[in-house]
Amino acid sequence: MTDIATEATEWFQQHWDPAMPLGDWWRLLADSGFAFPQWPEGFGGRGLSGRDAKAVQEARRAVGAYGPPNGVATFLVAPTLLVMGTPEQQQRYLPGVVDGTTPWCQLFSEPTAGSDMASLGTRAVKDGDEWTVTGQKVWNSGAHYAKCGILIARTDPDAPKHRGVTYFLIDMTQPGVEVRPLREMTGDAAFNEVFFDDARVHDSDRVGADGDGWRIAMTTLSFERDPGNAGLGDTAAFYEADLTVPVGKHAEREKAAADGFSIAMSGRAGEVFDGALASGLKRSSDPVLRDRLARLHVDRTVVGLTGRRGAANMKATGQPGPEIAGLKITGTETGRNVRDIGLEALGAAGMLWGDDVPDGGLFHRYAMFTPAQSIAGGTDEVLRNSIGERVLGLPREPDEAERRETPWKDLRRS
């Protein structure tokens, strides 16, 4: 056992108390540097290597201690601010991320700017030391309880679509922000649409230069697509937490209430899949199914190893390169295979829906969510284009070069 693993084990054995309020536990975890071990000291981490951070995580799990916060705040906002934010922005916002007191949402996609996100039309107009924001965003996970959001908005309609965008940190609790939940086919409502009507953002909450938002947004998306993201934990990713509840009771409630989204984003998909197979394969001796299962096990192992290698080979800037798109596509394909093989292994029970299905329906909820994985964080088609153009050096679409230089206001939009 390494020195850091020994230290972490001793710390968790000494401090873990399921009767402690959730908020107190998260604050204690952040202060120890064991919340997000790869992050810098003072921001819930210790600046550890990926290998040492994994040793800390394994020590926590072995003790049975609950993990740190998880969600947009931890795997999108914090990594982006650590790379692109000012020291003042980091000091102001990161403490609320690591102790779970400030949930965030992502405000990128729009009804007419999904795969072609650069054509977004939400406007931000400068007004003294502030910006006035008007427009609509959609597919905003956790926006119904978020206190803050990362927002990209059009600040220069005369510039080409990729160059007239600016990146902001916006207060979601202010007047002028309306959140409407969207019900999915899973029955859950993790996604939302958000309307801005003269909402305000102070210029100190602008990340990067005016007009440089597209580059910063791509930084955020590179973290979203990275399975080795140091801010991606094993607790529920999109779940409104009551910080006064005992942490042990919160963990029990979370497990019972987990939806497909939370399962997929908390790293529990493998656990849920293994549970489904354990019950399904007891009734199956089909050699073809078992062969498919063996192939899937290899795929999952390769994705995990590649993800760790990609994290170790990050650019000097601290963010993943365009190659990460390949990992995201592979992970999505693996998710679909997990769904198909798991449902088949369950036999007739795989066709059921409700609380009386095996494992309380956890696997079924995950299975219903898997189509969204081909869309979230960039569609498979867009990511394949990105690999072709930015990794393999293939030419862009014939009219793309001209469109990239056309002022946004002159582009044809639906």
- So where are the chain's domains? 3-82, 101-220, 268-378
Which residues are registered as beta bridge partners of 241? none
Query: How is residue 135 annotated by DSSP?
Result: E
pLDDT per position as a tens digit, 359-386 = 677 777 778 888 888 887 778 888 888 8
Q: What is the pLDDT of residues 93-104, one digit of tens each?
A: 999 999 999 999
Beta bridge partners of 131: 126, 201
pTM for the complete prediction? 0.82
What pLDDT was estimated at residue 268? 58
In angstroms, what CA-CA distances link 55 with 37, 143, 360, 403? 10, 33, 31, 48
Pairwise pLDDT comparison (275 vs 183), residue with the higher score: 183
Cα dihedral 210, 216, 220, 225 sign: positive
The domains spanning 101-220 and 268-378 adopt the same CATH topology: no
The dihedral region occupied by 411, where left means phi > 0, alpha psi between -120 and 50, and beta the remainder, is beta
In tens, the pLDDT along 193-230 reads 999 999 999 999 999 999 999 999 999 988 988 878 88
**Other CB atoms within 10 Å distance of the CB of residue 392:** 8
224 carries an active-site annotation = yes
Does position 356 have pLDDT exceeding 80, yes or no?
A: no
The per-residue pLDDT for range 390-405, each reduced to its tens digit, is 788 888 877 776 677 8
Query: Is the model's pLDDT at 316 over the cut of 50?
Result: no
328: tokens are 């995201």
- Residue listed under structure tokens 């394969």: 281
The total of other beta-carbon atoms located within 10 Å of residue 356's CB is: 9
pLDDT tens readout for residues 152-168: 999 999 999 999 999 99
Is the pLDDT assigned to residue 317 strictly greater than 60? no
* Residue at 202: amino acid letter: H
Rounded CA separation 245/123 (Å): 40
**Which residue among the candidates 110, 178, 224, 405 is catalytic per the annotation?**
224
- Which spans in 125-259 are helix H? 213-224, 247-257
More confident site: 271 or 245: 245
Give residue 331's identity as a one-letter amino acid code: G
SS3 call for 201? strand
Q: How confident is the model at residue 280 (pLDDT cuts 50, 70, 90)?
A: low
Phi, psi dihedral angles at 127 (to 5 degrees)? -140, 85
Question: 300 pLDDT band (50/70/90 cuts)?
Answer: low
Q: What is the mean pLDDT of residues 182-195?
A: 84
Report, at the CATH architecture level, how domain 101-220 is classified: Beta Barrel (2.40)
Q: Please, what sign has the CA dihedral across residues 317, 318, 324, 325?
A: negative
- Residue 311 clears pLDDT 50, i.e. is over it: no
| CA gap 81, 180 in Å, rounded | 27
Q: Assign domain 268-378 to a CATH class.
A: mainly alpha
Beta carbons of 370 and 343 less than 8 angstroms apart: no
Q: For residue 366, give the H/E element and its range.
A: helix 362-373
Instruction: Decide if 236 contacts 256 (C-beta within 8 A).
Output: no
